Structure formats: structure tokens, C-alpha cells
């Protein structure tokens, strides 16, 4: 495995994309700071120097593109377990790809894929964790937090990265060998921030409201809408 560490990089996902073709499977790109960190839905991702873990994992699995989103769930489960074990912070997974503590976001995941209809060339799993931030700009105060704020003391990023990568490797390998997400889903269900809750979901142009019935064996969210109908979601923006 190769780990590339940068003092400053525009975005570890962008850099990973640039090198992906020649990079070996499992390459990890880490930036002390990102000058152009990207979030989902074209948003910016604030990535100040030394305050977080801004990293991407380059993967080259032989799976169809439709299975790509499972990597996001493997990453979410790994981060959630690692912050509990290595940082002692009680994180929950807000399906499909956020980790929250006390309702505020500490981690976001941005998975990007390249390939054709039936074959993935490479997958980039971008993980952003607010670790040592002491405060947030006004506009994020109510929605974002850091591990340090929650724990009340500094968290060692190296230990946490090692723990995340170890978890990721275990869950990823289990999935590749057995083609089941069961170990990942066990964590996702155990630490779910949405199971059984009434949530609002933005799905494309639509806004839905309903109760989360289950996260099925494919990792899809089963919701009972207000009119009683059930809907299975592959992705979406969920608010509790
Ligand atoms: C989100 O919740 O919107 C996803 C945020 C993903 C941020 C990470 S930080 C490392 C990687 N590089 C990026 O530019 N984005 C991801």
C-alpha cells in the first residue's frame, strides 16, 4: 500500500483522479490542508490546515458500477467504528454517508467513480473528518462539530487514520471475498442515526417525508411515506 502525504493540495479527490490510472489499488492520498475541498452536490468542503483528516482512497475493485455506492457505506462504517474506538466519541451514521455526533456533522464522504457501463476503472472514496477544529464559522455552527469539541481534548490524527484504514480493509475484503455487505451493515444498523426516525429526504427535485423502516441487505433505505406507501432509496440527502 502506498500513502501520499501533502502539506497542501487542492483536493485529495482531485489529486487521486489525476494519478488513478497508474496508482496501485489501495493508494491513500492525505492532505494537511485542502485549498479546494469538495463536498457532495457541488458544495465546498472547508479543510483548514492540521485540523482534520482530509483523505482519499483509490480502489480498483472488479465490481459493477452499480455496486460502487457500497464503498461509501464501507467507509462510513469504518469511520464510525474508528472514531468510537480510537477517539472515544459516540458517532452515528446518517445514511448514506455522514457521521454525526449530537446531531451535528463530523464527517462527510464523497465517492467518485470512473469507468464504463459494466466495469469500474477506479473508485475514489474521499473522507473528510473534522478532528481538531475548536470552532466553526457562523454559518456552520449549528450543523458542524469536531471530535475535539465533542471529546473536550485533542485527538491524535495518526492513530485515527490507522484505525480507519484497518477497519476499511477488513470490511472491504470481507465484501470482496464474500460479496455480502453484512459486516458493514451490522455496524451501520447498530449506529444508525436514522433507523426508526421520521426524516425528510431530498431526492433530486423531490422532497419526501417518512419514517425509516429499515436499511436492507443491499444498503438501501426503506422509508414509509406519509401516504403509507413504501419507497426504497439508493441515495439522497436525509435530515432528521
Ligand atoms: C460531503 O459531506 O459533502 C462530503 C465531504 C467530503 C470531503 C472529503 S475531504 C477529502 C476528500 N477531498 C475532497 O475534496 N472531498 C473529500
d(CA 158, CA 31): 13
Taken in order of first residue, the domains within the chain and their CATH numbers are 3-190 (3.30.930.10), 198-239 (2.30.30.100)
Cis peptide before 96 (omega within 30 of 0): yes
38 is in an annotated binding site: yes
Q: Residue 85 above 90 pLDDT?
A: yes
What pLDDT is stored for residue 116 in this prediction?
Answer: 84
Instruction: Give the tens place of pLDDT for each residue, 28-80.
Output: 999 999 999 999 989 999 999 999 999 999 999 999 999 999 999 999 999 99
Q: What pLDDT is stored for residue 236 in this prediction?
A: 85
Is 204 marked as a binding-site residue?
no
Calculate the average pLDDT of the chain.
96
Contacts of 74 (CB under 8 A, 6+ apart): 168, 171, 172, 175, 181, 184
Q: How far apart are CA 58 and CA 14, in angstroms?
A: 11
Q: Residues 176-225: pLDDT tens digits?
A: 999 999 999 999 999 999 999 999 999 888 899 999 999 999 999 999 99
d(CA 176, CA 10): 31
In this structure, the residue with its CA closest to atom 2 of ligand 1 is: 108
Cell numbers found for residue 82: 474508528
ipTM of the complex in this document? 0.99
pLDDT at 118 over 90: no
- Which pLDDT tens digit goes with each residue over 135-175? 998 989 999 999 999 999 999 999 999 999 999 999 999 99
| Predicted pLDDT of residue 203 | 87
Q: Is the pLDDT of residue 83 over 80?
A: yes
Give the residue whose CA is nearest to atom 11 of ligand 1. 126
Task: Spell out which residues line ligand 1, taking CB within 6 angstroms.
Answer: 11-13, 34, 37-40, 43, 45, 47, 54-56, 98, 108-110, 126-128
Q: Separation of 225 CA from ligand 1 center, angstroms?
A: 30
- Burial (Cβ within 10 Å: 0-12, 13-18, ≥19) of residue 59: buried
**Cα of 87 from ligand 1 centre, angstroms:** 20
Q: What is the pLDDT of residue 240?
A: 85
pLDDT, tens digit, for every residue of 124-137?
999 999 999 999 98
CB 87 within 8 A of CB 70: no
**Radius of gyration from C-alpha coordinates of the chain:** 17
For position 103, what pLDDT does the model report?
Answer: 94
Q: Indicate whether 1 pLDDT > 80.
A: no
Inform me whether the pLDDT recorded for 122 exceeds 80: yes
- The count of residues in the chain is 240
**Whole-angstrom distance, CA of residue 57 vs CA of residue 112:** 11
Residue of 18, 35, 33, 24 whose CA lies nearest to 2: 24
**pLDDT band of 237, cuts 50, 70, 90:** confident
Between 153 and 1, the more confident residue is 153
Place of cell 471475498: 177
Share of the chain above pLDDT 70, in %: 100
* pLDDT score, position 132: 96
Amino acid at each position: 500500500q502506498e500513502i501520499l502525504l501533502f502539506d497542501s493540495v487542492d483536493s485529495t479527490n482531485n489529486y487521486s483522479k489525476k494519478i488513478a490510472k497508474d496508482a496501485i489499488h489501495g493508494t491513500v492520498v492525505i492532505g494537511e490542508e485542502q485549498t479546494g475541498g469538495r463536498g457532495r452536490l457541488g458544495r465546498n468542503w472547508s479543510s483548514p490546515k492540521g485540523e482534520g483528516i482530509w483523505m482519499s482512497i483509490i480502489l480498483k475493485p472488479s465490481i459493477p458500477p452499480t455496486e460502487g455506492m457500497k464503498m461509501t457505506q464501507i467507509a462510513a462504517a469504518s469511520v464510525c467504528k474508528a472514531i468510537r474506538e480510537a477517539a472515544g466519541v459516540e458517532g452515528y451514521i446518517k445514511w448514506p454517508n455522514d457521521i454525526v455526533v449530537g446531531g451535528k456533522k463530523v464527517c462527510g464522504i464523497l465517492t467518485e467513480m470512473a469507468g464504463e457501463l459494466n466495469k469500474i476503472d477506479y473508485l475514489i472514496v474521499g473522507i473528510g473528518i473534522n478532528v481538531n477544529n475548536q470552532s466553526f464559522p457562523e454559518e456552520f455552527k449549528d450543523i458542524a462539530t469536531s471530535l475535539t469539541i465533542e471529546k473536550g481534548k485533542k485527538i491524535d490524527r495518526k492513530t485515527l487514520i490507522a484505525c480507519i484504514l484497518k477497519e476499511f480493509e477488513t470490511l472491504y475484503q470481507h465484501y470482496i471475498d464474500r460479496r455480502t455487505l453484512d459486516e458493514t451493515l451490522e455496524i451501520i444498523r447498530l449506529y444508525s442515526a436514522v433507523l426508526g426516525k421520521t426524516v425528510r429526504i431530498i431526492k433530486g427535485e423531490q422532497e419526501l417525508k417518512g419514517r425509516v423502516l429499515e436499511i436492507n441487505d443491499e444498503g438501501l433505505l426503506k422509508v414509509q411515506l406519509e401516504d403509507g406507501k413504501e419507497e426504497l432509496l439508493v441515495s439522497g440527502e436525509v435530515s432528521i
